[in-house]
Structure 1
Amino acid sequence: MLPDTITKYLVGHVTRNVPAAMRWYADHAEVTDDGKTYRGRDEIRAWLARSASEYSYTTELISTRQIDEHTYVATHHLEGNFPGGTVDLDFTFTLVDGLISRLVIA
């Protein structure tokens, strides 16, 4: 079971609603995706906006697990027009004070 912060963030992320997704990030948050790290709200907002328009794809949550008190993994299956066409990705979240302080997508 994922905390509400992550569940609500994922709704915004999957529906490509950047303002809805951004409300769940801490000011000092970091996101690592495709080998690149984005720091702070401005860089994360730009990454979300770009990733929302770069490819068309569907997303299905296929598993969740808790690593420790602050760390959760949500595994998604994506299918779309990106290179390779299908992929399973782990979204590893670190929460601090109820907000996302770190997200690693791999």
Structure 2
Amino acid sequence: MAPVTLDTLPQAVTRFLAAHRLHDTAAQLANFTPDATVTDEGATHSGIDAVERWLNRTAGEYTYTIEPTAVHETSDREYTVTQRLEGDFPGGIVDLNFRFTLRDGLIERLVIEP
């Protein structure tokens, strides 16, 4: 994996990350393809409506701060951003990898896992 910086990530990823930090569902959703999939906590959410439901649910579940700690490009379409979350969820601190796959400048797939 090649290291990159937040500033050199594709715009869909940087816009998603900024909106995610603000819990702005509409702004996050605008960065996904209509047939996008998100896998989080072992569950896969397929299609833009399912992704929207996932975003709405996760936005109100816990209060937390999020800080990127590492960025990697694994191919010309795949990027991983490791983020540290600290908040009122079980365990209080976790490092999660946000693995993005892009298509036509938008997020086609997002996998969130430790």
Determine if the alignment matches structure 1 residue 91 to structure 2 residue 98. yes
User: How many percent identity over aligned positions?
Assistant: 44
Structure 2 residues without counterparts, runs of 5 or longer: 1-7
Taking the aligned partners of 2:20 and 2:36, their CA distance within structure 1 comes to 16
Unaligned runs of 5+ in 1: none
Deviation at 1:14, TM superposition (A): 1.4
Residues 67-96 of structure 1 deviation map (CA, whole Å, 9 limit, x = unaligned): 011000001000001011100000000000
Cα deviation for residue 13 of structure 1 reads 1.1
1:94, 1:102 → 2: CA distance? 5
TM-superposed deviation, 1:2: 1.2
Match of 2:19 in 1: 12
TM-score calculated relative to the size of structure 1: 0.98
User: Which 4+ stretches in 1 moved above 3 angstroms?
Assistant: none
Say whether 1:75 aligns with 2:88. no
**1:48-67 aligned within 5 A:** 48-67=55-74
RMSD of aligned residue pairs (Cα, Å): 0.6
Equivalent residue letter for 1:3: P
- Whole-angstrom CA distance in 2 between matches of 1:76 and 1:61: 4
Q: Are 1:23 and 2:15 an aligned pair? A: no
Aligned residues: 106
> Distance in 2 between the 1:14 and 1:39 partners?
22
The 2-side partners of 1:65 and 1:89 are apart by 13
Tell me, yes or no, if structure 1 residue 105 matches structure 2 residue 104. no
Q: TM-score, normalised by structure 2?
A: 0.91
